[in-house]
Structure 1
Amino acid sequence: MTEAVDWSMASRVAQRVAGSDPLAHSYRAGTLASDIAEFTPLAQELVEAETGWPSASGAARARVVDRAGWVEANIGSFQRLLAPLLDRAGEKMVGPSAYVAPKVAAAEMGVILGWMSRRVLGQYDLLVTEPGADPLTDGLSLTNSGEVVGDPEDQDLVYLVGPNLLALERKFGFSPREFRLWVCVHELTHRAQFTGVPWLRPYFLAQVRELLSAAEPDPTRLFTALGRLAEAIRTGVNPLDEGGLSALFAGPEQRAAMDRLAGLMSLLEGHGDIVMNRAAGDRIPSSERFHEVLSARRSAGGPASLIQKLMGLEAKMRQYEEGERFIEAVEAKHGKAGLDRAFESPDTVPTLSDIRDVDAWMARVGLGKAKASARR
């Protein structure tokens, strides 16, 4: 069977796009790994105290990587996550396409991963490998030959991209130890969400499975997408605002799953930012400045903004702001107990429309209306 993606080529392209940063060899780099090792258990303790969610996976593990290491980790995650879909695609590749298509896919994926590796600071890998588990609901991926994709020792890790952390510390004159703890708290918050809320990880992966199960080559979707693009332009709506090019080519089932995922990710990203600012308290005096700088960096204009829109990352950037506004509105009326309803079960998770209409969500889950003053 033909591999649908030439993963070796994807890695080579990504690493060329990612480039190298001499800061990785600077004097600051010498303390980075030891600081992260020190701050990881502290960040887990602070986050669990703030959220009340002890991790079912035990002690957190963090790994400082360069951009190439981040690329390799994400290629591994994509291989595990996309294995069922890519196996189906590989079975259909015959003739010249069996040679050309995997290389085209590799080039596209390599450019995306390489570009992202220059911006990301940290990431929690939630695809935990568990022998005998379901490929998507429990994180294990199997190829058609029955081979397990992924090393268990490389799972349930928090990755910190060293060159990018060091570059921001130098550019903005950040206190290294404060900034490193701040980033650790943010990433450990995401780990707490997926390991401390029992239903969350299976629910998230189920939505991904729904997207992948509907993802079959269908030429008619091209014409549907072009029609959607033309209609959006006529009505003055930016067709790339809601998920990039992938949203244009999604069918009805995929768009519904994308809406559920967008609502969940807005909740998680907004919650991550708020917990990050609260959990560390006065341990990080510069946290407000860190937050302002990173918010401005997310919304930077110019060519990067276009790339973000094409890739659907612009929508992700808005998730932070919309998620924070949603959480603030709920807490203004019902406190932490009200927000806990959003994490109660899959039925109470806000959709993207709920995130943007907090009163509708509170009515749906049996809470009262938010105070008008809670909106911004």
Structure 2
Amino acid sequence: MADTSVDWNLAQQVATRISERNDSGSSYHYATLAPDFERFTAQAEELVAETTGLRSQMGNARGRVADRPMWIEANIDSFQRLLRPLAEKLATKETSVLSGIGSKASGAEMGLLLGWMSGRVLGQYDLLIIEDENPEDQDIVYYLGPNVLNIEKKYGFPPEEFRLWLALHECTHRAQFTGVPWLREHFLGLVNQTLDTVDPDPDMLREAAKRIIEARKTGEDIFADGGLPALFSSPEQRETLNQISGMMSLLEGHGDVTMDRAGAGLITNAEYFAKTLRARRNSAKGFSRIFQKVVGLEAKLNQYQAGESFIEKVEEKGGTSLLDRAWERPENLPSMDEIQKPQIWIDRITAETVNSI
């Protein structure tokens, strides 16, 4: 059944048009990216395994340098696979829900998001779905060549150190999702659980509009907890989103902590890289800041710091062995509430240990 809920062709056109600004693909340095990232991806995979004990069960990591249109196309393919069950569900609704106007609006919104992100993302592990279709284009560690070159030039980053540093972060995410046997399926299960409860109910839209109006009266930041996706979710969806946010905060924090530890002694500028990119994340102003907040990206950026803080508190209490309890089973993952209050997670996990003795 064709997916008519989003005009994917329009999404790709809009995203590509936005991405064409300030492209650095013609730089003579571009040719160095592919061999460098092939080498550093392999090196990073070993360093991550030695540091975390997590080793992929899906073979060696494959790094791929992409320009912005390539990255956009890869993400659209992933989103199409991910949203296919939702599209099939919505196709059974009244045709007004799937009108051409709605499809094009969704396509334009998706294109705007991907186009904007294509100028910001440096690396990405494509974890969404492993299927029989096009397996050679899945389980890929992507590096956005133009963005990497722009950052190196703008801040004077030593290319070899910076590229290994990036590879460490992305290979940590791959080790998480392919080294913890249940993690990928658990994540996709939570996403599907959220999508299963999607219902284009006018009452929900009216309730969301009412919340926006009330927030304006009280001065509440209505988008602080995840932007429009959280605002237009049901209580059941918000509970699932809480679980997803907690898990992703842990993974992002673990990625940052691991890249620092795995690169110790090899990447002398790691602190400078981290400080500079952290400032870059927080420097958005004007339209960019509003856009990040509305679509929920600001909440995601906050996950980095929250996850690192959680790991620091946990390891202060019980070292890496206590943190490693999170990888034992889905029930051990922290919720977002526990990420923000680590002692709650520590008490829960240590109590389970005592009770099992």
Q: Per the shorter chain, which TM-score range?
A: over 0.9
- RMSD, aligned CA: 1.7
Pick aligned residue for 1:352 from 332, 336, 355: 336
1:155-234 equivalence runs, <5 A: 155-234=138-217
Which residue of the partner structure matches residue 145 of structure 1? Answer: none
Q: Is the 8 A contact 2:78 2:129 kept in 1?
A: no
Aligned with 2:350: secondary structure?
Answer: coil
Task: Report whether the alignment pairs 1:257 with 2:258.
Answer: no
1:147-168 per-residue CA deviation (whole Å, 9 max, x = no partner) reads: xxx4111010011000000000
Task: Report whether the alignment pairs 1:329 with 2:317.
Answer: no
Q: Deviation of residue 96 (structure 1)?
A: 10
* Paired-residue identity, %: 49
1:322-367 per-residue CA deviation (whole Å, 9 max, x = no partner) reads: 1000000110111000111122211111101001111111111126
Distance 1:308 1:151, change over 3 A: same
Distance 1:101 1:233, change over 3 A: closer
Which residue of the partner structure matches residue 70 of structure 1? Answer: 71
CA distance, structure 1, for counterparts of residue 225 and residue 34 of structure 2 = 37
Q: Deviation of residue 6 (structure 1)?
A: 1.8
Q: Deviation of residue 108 (structure 1)?
A: 1.1
Q: Is the 8 A contact 2:82 2:129 kept in 1?
A: no
Distance 1:93 1:12, change over 3 A: farther
Task: Report whether the alignment pairs 1:343 with 2:327.
Answer: yes
Letter of the 1:103 counterpart: K
1:253-282 per-residue CA deviation (whole Å, 9 max, x = no partner) reads: 100001000100110000000001100111
Q: Which moves more between the two structures, 3-12 or 173-182?
A: 3-12
Q: Is the 8 A contact 2:5 2:98 kept in 1?
A: no
CA distance, structure 2, for counterparts of residue 59 and residue 264 of structure 1 = 25
CA distance, structure 2, for counterparts of residue 94 and residue 23 of structure 1 = 43
Which residue of the partner structure matches residue 104 of structure 1? Answer: 105
Which residue of the partner structure matches residue 83 of structure 1? Answer: 84
Which residue of the partner structure matches residue 9 of structure 1? Answer: 10
CA distance, structure 1, for counterparts of residue 333 and residue 261 of structure 2 = 22
Q: Deviation of residue 21 (structure 1)?
A: 3.5
CA distance, structure 1, for counterparts of residue 60 and residue 97 of structure 2 = 49
List gaps (5 residues or longer) in structure 1. 132-149, 369-376
1:75-154 equivalence runs, <5 A: 75-92=76-93, 94=95, 98-131=99-132, 150-154=133-137
CA distance, structure 1, for counterparts of residue 185 and residue 313 of structure 2 = 28
Distance 1:235 1:365, change over 3 A: farther
Aligned with 1:107: secondary structure?
Answer: helix
CA distance, structure 2, for counterparts of residue 47 and residue 151 of structure 1 = 27
Q: Deviation of residue 193 (structure 1)?
A: 0.4
Q: Deviation of residue 77 (structure 1)?
A: 0.3
CA distance, structure 1, for counterparts of residue 247 and residue 336 of structure 2 = 8
TM-score (norm 1): 0.89
Q: Deviation of residue 204 (structure 1)?
A: 0.6
Letter of the 1:208 counterpart: V
Distance 1:75 1:252, change over 3 A: same
Q: Is the 8 A contact 1:20 1:67 kept in 2?
A: no
Distance 1:332 1:95, change over 3 A: closer
Which residue of the partner structure matches residue 355 of structure 2? Answer: none
Which residue of the partner structure matches residue 30 of structure 1? Answer: 31
Q: Deviation of residue 218 (structure 1)?
A: 0.4
Letter of the 2:111 counterpart: G
Q: Deviation of residue 321 (structure 1)?
A: 0.4
1:87-135 per-residue CA deviation (whole Å, 9 max, x = no partner) reads: 222343537953322222111111111011110011111134334xxxx
Q: Deviation of residue 301 (structure 1)?
A: 3.2
Q: Is the 8 A contact 1:129 1:151 kept in 2?
A: no
Letter of the 2:15 counterpart: A
Q: Is the 8 A contact 1:244 1:312 kept in 2?
A: yes
TM-score (norm 2): 0.94
Which residue of the partner structure matches residue 142 of structure 1? Answer: none
Q: Is the 8 A contact 1:121 1:160 kept in 2?
A: yes
Q: Deviation of residue 221 (structure 1)?
A: 0.5
Which residue of the partner structure matches residue 320 of structure 1? Answer: 304
Letter of the 2:83 counterpart: L
Letter of the 1:108 counterpart: E
Which residue of the partner structure matches residue 266 of structure 2? Answer: 283
Give the aligned length: 350
List gaps (5 residues or longer) in structure 2. 353-357
Which residue of the partner structure matches residue 45 of structure 1? Answer: 46
Aligned with 1:160: secondary structure?
Answer: strand
